[in-house]
């Protein structure tokens, strides 16, 4: 098992939902964190009693590439190293096969946030993760990256693509000790699922459980890497 001490992890969308739960868990475990959020001030409540030596906060907007560059740069200036990246920020918008009214705009925005931005951060982070020797990337994909649900075809297309990116990253970084995992949860109780009626909110996977999984994945040594993790609050089994 790898120690958390001294290891620096970037988390996108750390201000709420799954990203926030991951940030809290990893901080408690002893990791140092570089937190990315569209509105960095939205993280103030989280970090106001944290040890300033163990975290930094930066603006990360998936749609503004300069913020990707600046975030990675400021992380290295603050900590001098980088050991992990959690590509968590993401959006869901309904789009079915025959839905052509605003289909292109909807697909473009999900593609930008859910796929292009994680690819951009991966490219920026990878050289530094390779230097670490135990670099880790966790892409928060989805069960929708393994199977398509109803009107979620546009979202699924982006999450399938994120799983593809995870496999490519895994292969590309392997010989330098970088391990990449695609995390594929079903329904998780966050703002993103508040309008869902098919599964009661209280029966959905808790973000804190996913955070524990992320912590475990980050703690595994190079010889015990998990490529994909499907996590579900329902009995569906995905191959």
Ligand X SMILES: NC(=O)c1ccc[n+]([C@@H]2O[C@H](COP(=O)([O-])OP(=O)(O)OC[C@H]3O[C@@H](n4cnc5c(N)ncnc54)[C@H](OP(=O)(O)O)[C@@H]3O)[C@@H](O)[C@H]2O)c1
Candidate list 9, 10, 11, 18; residue touching ligand X; CB under 6 A: 18
List of residues 6+ apart from 177 with CB closer than 8 A:
130, 132, 133, 134, 135, 222
Q: Which of 67, 15, 61 is nearest to 190 (CA)?
A: 15
- Radius of gyration from C-alpha coordinates of the chain: 17
The CA-to-CA distance between both ends of the chain, in Å, stands at 28
From 27, 60, 92, 155, the catalytic residue: 155
Q: Which of 7, 10, 13, 156 is in the footprint of ligand X by CB under 6 A?
A: 13
Nearer to ligand X, 46 or 126 (CB): 46
Q: Which is nearer to ligand X, 61 or 228 (CB)?
A: 61
Nearer to ligand X, 73 or 131 (CB): 73
Min CB(223)–ligand X separation in Å: 28
Does 90 bind ligand X (CB under 6 A)? Our answer is yes
Q: Which stretch binds ligand X (CB under 6 A): 51-59, 95-103, 129-137, 180-188?
A: 180-188
Range in contact with ligand X (rule: CB under 6 A) among 27-35, 73-81, 183-191, 221-229 = 183-191
Among residues 10, 182, 188, 214, the one that binds ligand X under rule CB under 6 A: 188
The residue within the footprint of ligand X, chosen from 3, 28, 39, 168 (CB under 6 A), is 39
Closest CA to 37 of 23, 51, 53: 23
Instruction: Measure the CA–CA gap between 164 and 57, rounded to whole angstroms.
Output: 29
155 is a catalytic site residue: yes
140 near ligand X, judged by CB under 6 A: yes
152 binds ligand X (CB under 6 A): no
Q: Which of 165, 20, 173 is nearest to 82 (CA)?
A: 173
Nearer to ligand X, 132 or 183 (CB): 183
CB of 6 to ligand X, least distance (A): 26
Among 8, 9, 11, 17, binds ligand X (CB under 6 A): 17
Under the criterion CB under 6 A, does residue 229 sit at the interface with ligand X?
no
Would you say 66 or 191 has its CB closer to ligand X? 191
Task: Enumerate the active-site residues.
Answer: 155
Which residues of this protein are in contact with ligand X, per CB under 6 A? 13, 15-19, 38-39, 60-63, 88-92, 113, 140, 142, 185, 187-188, 190-193
């Amino acid at each position: 098992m790898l120690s958390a001490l001294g290891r620096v992890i970037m988390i996108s969308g750390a201000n709420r939902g799954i990203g926030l739960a991951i940030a809290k868990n990893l901080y408690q475990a002893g990791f140092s964190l570089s937190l990315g959020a569209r509105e960095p001030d939205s993280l103030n409540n989280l970090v106001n009693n944290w040890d300033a030596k163990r975290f930094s906060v930066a603006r990360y907007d998936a749609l503004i590439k300069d913020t990707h560059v600046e975030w990675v740069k400021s992380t290295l200036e603050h900590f001098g190293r980088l050991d992990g990246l959690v590509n968590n920020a993401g959006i869901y918008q309904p789009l079915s096969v025959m839905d052509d009214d605003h289909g292109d705009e909807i697909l473009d925005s999900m593609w930008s946030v859910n796929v292009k931005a994680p690819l951009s951060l991966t490219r920026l982070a990878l050289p530094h993760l390779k230097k670490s020797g135990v670099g880790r990337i966790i892409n928060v994909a989805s069960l929708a990256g393994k199977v398509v649900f109803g009107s979620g075809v546009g979202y699924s297309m982006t999450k399938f693509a994120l799983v593809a990116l995870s496999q490519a990253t895994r292969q590309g970084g392997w010989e330098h000790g970088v391990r990449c995992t695609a995390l594929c949860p079903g329904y998780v109780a966050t703002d993103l699922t508040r309008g869902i009626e098919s599964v009661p909110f209280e029966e959905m996977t808790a973000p804190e459980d996913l955070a524990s999984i992320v912590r475990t994945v980050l703690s595994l040594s190079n010889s015990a890497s998990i490529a994909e993790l499907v996590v579900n609050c329902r009995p569906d089994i995905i191959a």
